Structure 1
Amino acid sequence: MNHNAIITITNLRLRTYIGFNEEEKTKQQDIVINAEIHYPANNLCLSDDVDNALNYKNICKTIIKHVETGRFLLLEKLTSDVLGICIDHPWVKYAQVRIDKPHALRFADSVSLTLSYEANHDEITQGVIK
């Protein structure tokens, strides 16, 4: 039986340098990251074998390090980088990342950008990338 595992990271709140205005280049801003990562859950994973599951803690630590030590002019670049971290495993068949930049617009709660990735279905066979 084929199962689809979905890892969801919800409201990961970080601070980074994001933007191209002078104030944005010198002062860190809050961002909020939501990510969804889909991969096949094989029988070894479902039988509690740690080596056969994606390690969401490692993914999260990598995102935190990249975001907090980086400087980004565009929300698109930051979102693309985080999506790249989320799909940096051959098992991942779909991922979506949304990053909100609170207080970016005067009369809005936030501005956000969403990017997604989908593996070529022809390359995935029973959870194994050829």
Structure 2
Amino acid sequence: MSGDDPLNRPLSRIHIKDLRLRTFIGFNDEEQRKRQDVVVNIRIDYDALAAARGDAVDEALDYKTITKQVIAHVEDNRFLLLEKLVNDLVEIVMAHDAAKATEVEVDKPHALRFSDSVSLTMAASR
């Protein structure tokens, strides 16, 4: 293929879907004593064209490393607020220069009676 691309190419998007982890989250006594399930969904926008054209691993976003960092952070820490957890994950993703934008959603299943879950979403871009 030639270097001249007549197509308008927006950023590509990687989704890390339904990453199920356990952590200490919340501020009441029970939440402080036992781990709870959280479900993490991450969207990362980046320019994947060079990786796609050249089948070049070194040009691709390293989502495996990002996922490992997210897992370690969630499982090795305690959080009073969902807001803190989600913000930390946004910052982990955006620490990678290839990430041009991200949206992170974390669900806390069974946080409210009669509800499947409560979630919070935060985004960032450069």
**Structures share fold, TM-score greater than 0.5:** yes
Q: Name the counterpart of 2:42.
A: 35
Q: CA deviation at 1:91?
A: 2.1
**How much has 1:3 moved relative to structure 2?**
5.0
TM value normalised by structure 1 = 0.87
Identical amino acids, percent of aligned pairs? 52
2:100 counterpart (93, 98, 120)? 93
Runs of 4 or more above 6 Å deviation = none
1:74-130: CA deviations, max 9, x gaps? 0000000111111111222110000000000011000000000021xxxxxxxxxxx
Computed over aligned residues only, the root mean square deviation of the Cα atoms, in angstroms, reads 1.1
Q: How many residues align?
A: 118
Q: Secondary structure at the match of 1:105?
A: coil
Q: Which runs of 5+ in 2 are unaligned?
A: none
Further displaced range: 47-56 or 95-104: 47-56
CA contact (8 A) 1:3 1:42 kept: no
**SS in structure 1 of the partner of residue 64 of structure 2:** helix
Amino acid at match of 2:22: R
Under a length normalisation based on structure 2, what TM-score does the superposition of the two structures give?
Answer: 0.89
